[in-house]
Copies of this chain bind each other. A is one copy, B any other.
Amino acid sequence: MEEVMEFEFSKEFLDRFEQALINREDSYIKDSLQAVRPVDICEILSEFDFIFGKYVFDLLDATKAAEVLVELEEDYREQFIGLFTLDELSNFMEMLDSDDGADLLSEMSPTLREEILGNLKNEEKAGHLLDLMRYDDDVAGGLMAKELIKARENWTVRRCIDEIRIQAEKVEKIYSVYVVDEQDHLKGRVSLKRIVLANDDKKVSEILEDNIISVGTFEEEQEVANIMQKYDLEAIPVVNIRGKLVGRITIDDILDVITESAEEERQLMSGVTSDVEEDDSVWMISKARLPWLIIGMTGGLFAAQIADYYSVTLSVIARLSLFIPLIMATGGNVGVQSSAIVMQSLAAKTGFSETLANRLLKMLYVALVNGSILGLLVFGAIMLLFRDQLLAVTASIALLNVVLLSSFMGTVTPLLLNHFGINPAIASGPFITTANDLLGLTVYFSIAIFLYNL
């Protein structure tokens, strides 16, 4: 076995593959995809037209095809699914884990969804899917799979192994056997390692771990991710409000949650509204970027009106306008920094978070330190470059005030957003910079008027 890294497609391979598709060389296609993993097959498919994709798909064995379907990009899959008959789709649904199946169903039209559910031969699977469809995508119930291995306390290890054998095909990854009572209440778990090591006649109750962590069906996905990460869990059982074991979440799904939320945060911080990628259409990308640009532009027009309002001041002391960029840039930078630090605490919330008063006080101290240092530097620079003491005093005092104000805005805005259940990352983006621009200008002009005695 050589060291296998990610599957890489050469231009040659793809050209040859396309040739095989055109010539319908079924055996070549089958052979060349034999050792390729489902997720890599998706990448090959995404290079070709749907019709070709369907052709390849029909040559795969059913289990692999079902896995490919799950791994496809959502945009591609949505259109791809239109090529399948109801029976084909139902067959795939029978083969998929319930969580993947439910995700797939939720992308379909309600009619198609009903048809597939009605068409399923496996009653248990249909029940699982119906059950999972009840939950929102972003709670534990929406993430869990129904497939898991249950055992009773009075079972022997041998009986556990028999149960695993029966369920093995349905449950791909087994880390533990979950122990329940007659009412399906979760009592604990036995790890697969313990099962391997225990004598076959050992009772489950003797090797059971009872102090285990579980989550409720309505626990938010972010919280589930925090718990699994904190306690290094590869799987976590999900219980309903009555303590009944209803499913299990595995770490691979949590990894996706974490990656997606990091992506969402990046978008919010950069003012791109919807989930666009570089290979989306020009219009899609433009549309996703316009809203925040228009908000920023509106802010800019307001700023123009503020400056216009102070036009008399500006005409008397023309040099004042030179430092508008300085004031604005600093306000924006300070605001984004402050909100990023608050967001960090919100994300890594520990048992003891700072009180609001402590937060604001510390923010004030930091702003005083940084504002004073920046103010002094600017004072020196203006004296050096423009030899204008009043201008230097005005700009540096305005700068200190802008740092204070922007820190306050940058600290309070994410806290407020978070309080109202809005992702605080939005406050680190164009929002805070636009708000700070307007505030900063007003402060700057007000201080100038006061100091110049206008």
- Per-position binary interface string of chain A over residues 1-31, scored 1 when its CB falls under 8 Å from any chain B CB and 0 otherwise: 1111111110000000000000000000000
CA distance A362 to B219 in the complex (A): 41
- Per-position binary interface string of chain A over residues 346-358, scored 1 when its CB falls under 8 Å from any chain B CB and 0 otherwise: 0110111010000
Whether A106 sits at the interface, judged by CB under 8 Å, is no
Chain B residue nearest in CB terms to A370:
B286
Residues of chain B within 8 A (CB-CB) of A6 are 226-227, 230
Residues of chain B within 8 A (CB-CB) of A340 are 266-267, 269-272
With A262-B265, A289-B370 in contact, is A197–B212 under 8 Å at CB?
no
Q: Chain A: interface secondary structure? A: helix
Within the complex, which residue of B3, B9, B192, B370 is in contact with A192, where a contact is CB–CB below 8 Å?
B192
Determine whether the beta carbon of A270 is less than 8 Å from that of B2.
no
Within the complex, which residue of B2, B239, B341 is in contact with A276, where a contact is CB–CB below 8 Å?
B341
Determine whether the beta carbon of A300 is less than 8 Å from that of B327.
yes
Residues of chain A from 251 to 290 with CB closer than 8 A to chain B in the complex: 251-252, 254-256, 258-259, 262-263, 265-267, 269-272, 276-279, 282-283, 285-286, 289-290
CA distance A332 to B297 in the complex (A): 11
Chain B residue nearest in CB terms to A270:
B340
CA distance A385 to B168 in the complex (A): 72
Within the complex, which residue of B193, B318, B369 is in contact with A286, where a contact is CB–CB below 8 Å?
B369
Number of interface residues of A (CB under 8 A): 142
Whether A214 sits at the interface, judged by CB under 8 Å, is yes
Residues of chain B within 8 A (CB-CB) of A334 are 289, 293
Whether A359 sits at the interface, judged by CB under 8 Å, is yes
Whether A207 sits at the interface, judged by CB under 8 Å, is no
CA distance A339 to B232 in the complex (A): 34
CA distance A434 to B276 in the complex (A): 25
Residues of chain B within 8 A (CB-CB) of A429 are 336
Residues of chain B within 8 A (CB-CB) of A211 are 1, 4, 35
Determine whether the beta carbon of A243 is less than 8 Å from that of B2.
yes
Among A192, A324, A342, the most chain B Cβ lie within 10 Å of the Cβ of A324
Determine whether the beta carbon of B307 is less than 8 Å from that of A216.
no
Within the complex, which residue of B43, B256, B322, B324 is in contact with A325, where a contact is CB–CB below 8 Å?
B324
CB distance from A240 to the nearest CB of B (A): 10
Whether A315 sits at the interface, judged by CB under 8 Å, is yes
Determine whether the beta carbon of A325 is less than 8 Å from that of B304.
yes
Whether A401 sits at the interface, judged by CB under 8 Å, is no
CB distance from A138 to the nearest CB of B (A): 18
CA distance A269 to B268 in the complex (A): 12
Residues of chain B within 8 A (CB-CB) of A263 are 344, 347
With A165-B197, A212-B1 in contact, is A437–B344 under 8 Å at CB?
no
Within the complex, which residue of B3, B165, B243 is in contact with A215, where a contact is CB–CB below 8 Å?
B3
Within the complex, which residue of B219, B262, B329, B354 is in contact with A296, where a contact is CB–CB below 8 Å?
B329
Whether A117 sits at the interface, judged by CB under 8 Å, is no
Whether A433 sits at the interface, judged by CB under 8 Å, is yes
Determine whether the beta carbon of A296 is less than 8 Å from that of B43.
no
Determine whether the beta carbon of B332 is less than 8 Å from that of A332.
yes
Determine whether the beta carbon of B192 is less than 8 Å from that of A196.
yes
- Per-position binary interface string of chain A over residues 152-171, scored 1 when its CB falls under 8 Å from any chain B CB and 0 otherwise: 00000000010011001000
Residues of chain B within 8 A (CB-CB) of A270 are 269, 336-337, 339-340, 428
CB distance from A81 to the nearest CB of B (A): 21
CA distance A37 to B161 in the complex (A): 29
Whether A132 sits at the interface, judged by CB under 8 Å, is no
Which of A56-64, A82-90, A108-116, A373-381 lines the interface with chain B? A373-381
Residues of chain B within 8 A (CB-CB) of A165 are 197
Whether A305 sits at the interface, judged by CB under 8 Å, is yes
Determine whether the beta carbon of B318 is less than 8 Å from that of A311.
yes
Determine whether the beta carbon of A5 is less than 8 Å from that of B227.
yes
Residues of chain B within 8 A (CB-CB) of A96 are none
CA distance A301 to B282 in the complex (A): 36
The 4 A-B pairs with the shortest beta carbon distances in the complex, nearest first, are A300-B326, A270-B340, A303-B325, A321-B321
18 residue pairs bridging A and B, Cβ less than 8 Å apart: A3-B214, A3-B216, A43-B352, A161-B196, A175-B234, A251-B255, A258-B259, A265-B266, A267-B340, A270-B428, A277-B344, A282-B365, A282-B366, A286-B373, A292-B333, A301-B326, A303-B325, A304-B382
